[in-house]
Structure 1
Amino acid sequence: MSATTGTPDGAHVVHVVETLGMGGMERAIATLCRTLRARQIRTSVIAMKQLGAVADELRDMGVPVHLAGVPVSPPDYFAWRRLVPVLREVRPTVVHTHNSAPLIYGAPSARWCGVRRIVHTDHGRVLPDRRHIMIAERCAASVVHAMVAVSAPLAEQLAAHLHIGPHKLHVIVNGVNAVVPVAPAQRDRTRAAWFGATDGPIVGLAARLVWEKGLNVLLAAWPQVLAVHPGARLLIGGDGPERAALERIIEQRALGASVCMPGMVSDMAAFYSALDVFVLPSVSEGLPLALLEAMSMGLPIVASAVGGMPAALGPSQAGVLVPPSDVAALARALCETLDGLGRADGAIALGARARATFAREFTAESMTSAYMSLYGIRT
């Protein structure tokens, strides 16, 4: 579908989200807002339910943030009207909704307010969803001008389960700004702060601690990794509802000496710089920003073959892919990658291919250009 073109003069893109906590989707929105503003496009964000750490980040860069107070649980499908006065106040020319609840509530309110362009992005989910949710999404999708999936497999699921036609459905992969490595001295200090004076390799990831990330699978595989690489350490950054369960697994398997869970990470450059191998054992994904950030750093990557990760890593052999929930395969891939650290034909080559693939396909600039086309804005 070709978008109607226009000019940035008077354009105002308003993103509608459920919350603004420190998740991958919220960080993607912040990246998009930052890049749009660099192109002189006015942006605002409406959070339906609650604010969070990303709200502060947005405000720091000059993006207005509004809290609408729309209840999303239990569902009240007439509550979309609560968004109407907020939209009338901010006066968008484009409304961009993100994930299920903002689609259900945001799209009808934008249509009611006469917004000329409505775009929706699904950032990754498990389908089929509950029947009443999918019926509501199909109704809301009827007023949307463009539906975006962050990976081709997700687009196929949206087409099958939400009946989105090819004229409306687009794939726009996530993009991020490249992470700049910290100086070696800072890297050493960061590693020592988490694991003391260790010379062993550090495997890790930063993610929201939810079951979809497959961290229980990673902890099940970790003793097998330690049997081959006893000096290895595992770093799991982030927080979320699965934290207590993961801590119990670490205690039950006596992994405390080799596993660190520092909580939320504020300095991502220092975090990624501390790693020798990035791992993402998810059981369900769209196209995670953490994967792209690791690719931009040139880290060797071991990841599950789910969502958009095979398309990101597989064609250029930019990482090692394993079946989801396969403990033995994950342990084997991590051991082989650790064996190849420092080898030109091993982990070094993996990292170089990851960095080159990122620069070619997954930058924030390329993502923003694709969205601007759907918004009908050209510079």
Structure 2
Amino acid sequence: MKSTPAEQNMTESLEQPRLVVHLIHQLDAGGFENGLINLIRNMPPERYRHAIVCLKDYSDFESQLQPRGVEIISLNKREGKDFGHYLRMFKALRALQPDLIHTRNLSGLEGQLVAALAGVKLRVHGEHGRDMFDLYGKRLKYQLLRRLLRPLIGHFIAVSADLEHWLIDNVGAEPQRVSQIANGVDSIQFHPRLGPPAAVGPAGFMQDNAFVIGSVGRMVDVKNHATLVEAFLRLIASPHPSHQRLRLLIVGDGPARAECVDMLTRAGASHRAWLPGERGDIPQMLRAMDLFVLPSLAEGSSNTILEAMATGLPVVATAVGGNTELVKPGFTGILVPPKSPELMAAAIADYCRIPEMGGRHGMRARSQVIAHHSLPAMARGYMAVYDALTNASPCTAAQEKRA
């Protein structure tokens, strides 16, 4: 017997949005974490609900997600081998009973097996970048792990073409089960400065004609901030008069911060650099910069590059991973080889000596972000993957028709 329209409407109203669990290493300050928050904020709540399971812990993101009713669970995984966290993960997934789990990067990969054992039938895995200990994704034991768990994964998501090709060519994922979805950025929050740069930093750091070289990100080995510091020290040691305007601003915290501070102190350049640690006002920090530099050894698709481009900044970045897809040499920025402080210094010097070039490249960079890296476009990409796996429930189809 067919349902009446009234009965169909009642069924639709009773059916809850599907629950997606995002399994990540840690919810802390960083581009990857901001990307997840932006994704949740830009997905319609009537389509999908969300929960976040952190292998380690989380910081103050709970307040940002509270209006969305997002539950955040910490598994408190200890350093090294902690087999107990697998049991805690299993229990959390059994309690949540999600429709779909979305794991990310190598640290979350084993969650695919735990999810399968916990009865989660729909499983997605995303690759956002590689770690310091496996920069090119070729380490044998991790290759074996990825290939072993590959049959459990319903669909892969890569944030760059580089990672998409690697998943297909090295991991053996079927091309039709891999989607490349570009990261998105809030081009309203991250906008060009509307007047003179703000006087940030301690007294004496900024001058009227200062040219601020900036970078944002966790200060860990893979981000390689020491190369940027070395390039900066080379420039201010040169006799060129324009280099006396240079200032260095690195926003972020981590184990490499002390090394960079020590390099600057030993060179007697502390008064020309500011490393404030972690900050909550990244848009304002970016608007204090004249040039953004990312010296990473490896990248997936850098959210900080996108935020800098949205702010109207030219970008000097290393020619690794997804950087080569975001930065257009001679058009929006300059690419240099990793661990090449002399070439990085030369690229920075070009922008310092030819300020109009930075203005042109920065305007083009913002236009590129608006055209290709909007948050709604990113959310639509993820929803297409989720919808394909969940087969778009009758409730979802009806809501789409009404919209």
Match of 1:28?
35
> Relative to structure 1, is the Cα distance of residues 58 and 133 closer, same or farther in structure 2, using a 3 angstrom cutoff?
farther
Check if 1:254 corresponds to 2:258.
no
- Displacement of 1:116 in angstroms is 3.6
- Displacement of 1:339 in angstroms is 2.0
- Equivalent-residue separation in structure 2 for 1:143 and 1:132 (angstroms): 18
> Relative to structure 1, is the Cα distance of residues 188 and 24 closer, same or farther in structure 2, using a 3 angstrom cutoff?
closer
Match of 2:166?
157
Listed as ranges, the matches of 1:188-337 within 5 Å are 188-190=198-200, 195-226=205-236, 227=238, 228=240, 229-314=243-328, 317-337=331-351
> Relative to structure 1, is the Cα distance of residues 350 and 49 closer, same or farther in structure 2, using a 3 angstrom cutoff?
same
- Displacement of 1:267 in angstroms is 0.7
Q: 1:44 aligns with which of 51, 69, 79?
A: 51
Check if 1:11 corresponds to 2:18.
yes
Match of 1:138?
147
Check if 1:114 corresponds to 2:124.
no
Which one is further off, 261-270 or 16-25?
16-25
- Equivalent-residue separation in structure 2 for 1:246 and 1:192 (angstroms): 18
> Relative to structure 1, is the Cα distance of residues 211 and 281 closer, same or farther in structure 2, using a 3 angstrom cutoff?
same
Counterpart amino acid of residue 87 in structure 1: L
Identity %: 28
- Displacement of 1:265 in angstroms is 1.2
- Displacement of 1:59 in angstroms is 3.7
Match of 1:372?
383
- Displacement of 1:285 in angstroms is 0.7
User: Does the residue aligned with 1:36 lie in a helix, a strand or coil?
Assistant: coil
Match of 2:7?
none
Check if 1:176 corresponds to 2:181.
no
Counterpart amino acid of residue 318 in structure 1: T
- Equivalent-residue separation in structure 2 for 1:278 and 1:102 (angstroms): 31
- Equivalent-residue separation in structure 2 for 1:91 and 1:109 (angstroms): 13
Counterpart amino acid of residue 363 in structure 1: S
Match of 1:85?
91
> Relative to structure 1, is the Cα distance of residues 69 and 37 closer, same or farther in structure 2, using a 3 angstrom cutoff?
farther
> Relative to structure 1, is the Cα distance of residues 208 and 221 closer, same or farther in structure 2, using a 3 angstrom cutoff?
same
Listed as ranges, the matches of 1:333-348 within 5 Å are 333-341=347-355, 343=356, 346-348=357-359
Would you say the 8 A contact 2:24–2:53 is kept in 1?
A: yes
- 1:216-238 CA deviation, whole Å, 9 max, x = no partner? 11111112322231111000000
- 1:118-168 CA deviation, whole Å, 9 max, x = no partner? 111111011335433332232223211111221111223333432323232
Which one is further off, 308-317 or 201-210?
308-317
- Displacement of 1:281 in angstroms is 1.4
How many residue pairs get aligned? The number is 369
State the TM-score, normalizing by the size of structure 2: 0.84
Listed as ranges, the matches of 1:92-107 within 5 Å are 92-104=98-110, 106-107=111-112
- Equivalent-residue separation in structure 2 for 1:338 and 1:366 (angstroms): 35
- Equivalent-residue separation in structure 2 for 1:65 and 1:348 (angstroms): 42
Q: Which runs of 5+ in 1 are unaligned?
A: 1-6
User: Does the residue aligned with 1:147 lie in a helix, a strand or coil?
Assistant: strand
User: Does the residue aligned with 2:198 lie in a helix, a strand or coil?
Assistant: helix
Counterpart amino acid of residue 157 in structure 2: V
> Relative to structure 1, is the Cα distance of residues 364 and 331 closer, same or farther in structure 2, using a 3 angstrom cutoff?
same
> Relative to structure 1, is the Cα distance of residues 180 and 160 closer, same or farther in structure 2, using a 3 angstrom cutoff?
closer
User: Does the residue aligned with 2:22 lie in a helix, a strand or coil?
Assistant: strand
> Relative to structure 1, is the Cα distance of residues 172 and 180 closer, same or farther in structure 2, using a 3 angstrom cutoff?
closer
Q: 2:129 aligns with which of 115, 124, 128?
A: 124
- 1:175-220 CA deviation, whole Å, 9 max, x = no partner? 1212344875794243566824443111101110012112111111
Would you say the 8 A contact 1:70–1:83 is kept in 2?
A: no
Would you say the 8 A contact 1:186–1:270 is kept in 2?
A: no
Q: Which runs of 5+ in 2 are unaligned?
A: 1-12
Would you say the 8 A contact 2:192–2:310 is kept in 1?
A: no
- 1:333-352 CA deviation, whole Å, 9 max, x = no partner? 101112222x2xx1111011
State the TM-score, normalizing by the size of structure 1: 0.89
Would you say the 8 A contact 1:187–1:270 is kept in 2?
A: no
Would you say the 8 A contact 2:156–2:179 is kept in 1?
A: yes
User: Does the residue aligned with 2:176 lie in a helix, a strand or coil?
Assistant: coil
> Relative to structure 1, is the Cα distance of residues 38 and 359 closer, same or farther in structure 2, using a 3 angstrom cutoff?
farther
- Equivalent-residue separation in structure 1 for 2:220 and 2:206 (angstroms): 28
